[in-house]
Structure 1
Amino acid sequence: MSVESEFANEELVRRFLAAMGRLDVPALSDLLAEDATWWLAGDLPVSGFYNGKPAVIGDFLWSAAALFELGSLGFELQHLVSAADTVVAEYVGTGRGMISGRPYRNKYCTVFACRDSKISSVREYLDTAHVGEVLYQTGNA
Structure 2
Amino acid sequence: MSAAQATTPEQPDQVAARNEAAVRDAFANWSAGQGSVFDLLSPDITWTIHGSGPVAGTYNGVEAFLQRGAVPLTSRLARPLVPNLHAVWAVGNTVIIRFDAASTTTGGHPYRNQYVWIFRMENGAVVEAEAFLDLVAYDKVVAENQPRQP
TM-score by length of 1: 0.78
The structural deviation recorded for 1:83 is: 1.0
> Normalising to structure 2: TM-score of the pair?
0.74
What's 1:132 paired with?
139
**Paired residues, number:** 134
- What is the CA-CA distance between 1:124 and the residue it aligns to? 0.5
Candidates 26, 48, 60, aligned match of 2:69: 60
CA drift of 1:103 comes to 0.7
2: CA distance, partners of 1:63 / 1:11:
29
Q: Which residue among 93, 98, 103 is the counterpart of 1:95?
A: 103
Give the 4+ runs in structure 1 shifted more than 3 A.
Answer: 15-25
Going from structure 1 to structure 2, the CA distance change for 1:111 and 1:17 (only over 3 Å counts) comes to: same
Name the larger-Rg structure.
2
Task: Indicate the SS of the match to 1:136.
Answer: helix
Q: Distance in 2 between matches of 1:61 and 1:134?
A: 12
Q: Give the match for residue 8 of structure 2.
A: none
Deviations 1:29-61 (A, max 9, x none): 4x2223211111233332221101222233333
| Root-mean-square deviation (Å) | 2.6
Pairwise CA distance, 1:24? 3.9
Aligned partners of 1:103 and 1:134 also within 8 Å: no
Alignment gaps of 5+ in structure 1? none
State the distance in 1 between where 2:29 and 2:67 align.
Answer: 15
Q: Distance in 2 between matches of 1:62 and 1:105?
A: 16
Q: Which region of structure 1 is more displaced relative to structure 2, 105-114 or 32-41?
A: 32-41
Where structure 2 has 5 or more consecutive residues not aligned to the other structure, the ranges are 1-10, 145-150
Matching of residue 115 in structure 1 with residue 122 in structure 2 = yes
Are the equivalent residues in 1 in contact too, given 2:95–2:120 (CA < 8 A)? Answer: yes
Report the Cα offset of residue 3 of structure 1: 2.1
**43-52 vs 110-119, which moves further:** 43-52
Whether the 8 Å contact between 1:34 and 1:53 is mirrored in structure 2 is: yes
Q: Is the 8 A contact 1:12 1:118 kept in 2?
A: no
CA contact (8 A) 1:81 1:89 kept: yes
CA distance in structure 2 between the partners assigned to 1:134 and 1:49 by the alignment: 21
**Which amino acid in structure 2 is aligned with residue 38 of structure 1?**
W
Aligned to 1:10: 20
Identity across matched positions, percent: 24
